[in-house]
A = this chain, B = another copy of it.
């Protein structure tokens, strides 16, 4: 299961389910098992949950941390950026408001370079 999340980089429960089923094995693993395992891994701090997709949560391996997720509202692509850019922000927030932001679970929405170029002002 952890292997699945690691292999996928970041995935919705549905993705994980598909991945596990593709790997074969009978009977097929059940969705409830995926949800339960994912919840457990989250508690253990081995995977993190982030709302990347609009409808479903996404999980990504903890080692994969230290990245920002850049979600393009036009094409849906999820890119990544080093987290150091956000560290300043986190430090600043902490100093000013006392809020300790978890930068490893950070998702930013916007438009990727390609989409911004294709259609600078157009919606999805």
Which residues of A are at the interface with B, using a C-beta cutoff of 8 A?
Answer: 43, 51, 54, 57, 68, 70, 72-73, 79, 81, 85-86, 88-89, 92-93, 96-103, 105-106, 108-113, 116, 123
Contact = CB atoms under 8 A, between A and B. Distances in A.
A103 B86 CA distance: 12
Given A72-B99, A102-B110, 5 more contacts: A54-B57, A68-B93, A73-B102, A89-B89, A101-B110
Nearest to A116: B100
Contacts of A100: 110-111, 116
How many copies the complex holds: the figure is 2
Contacts of A79: 97, 99
B102 A81 contact: no
A76 to B, nearest CB: 13
Given A51-B51, A93-B70, A111 B85 contact: no
A113 B88 contact: no
A39 B115 CA distance: 22
Contact of A88 (B89, B97, B101, B116): B89
Contact of A86 (B89, B96, B105): B89
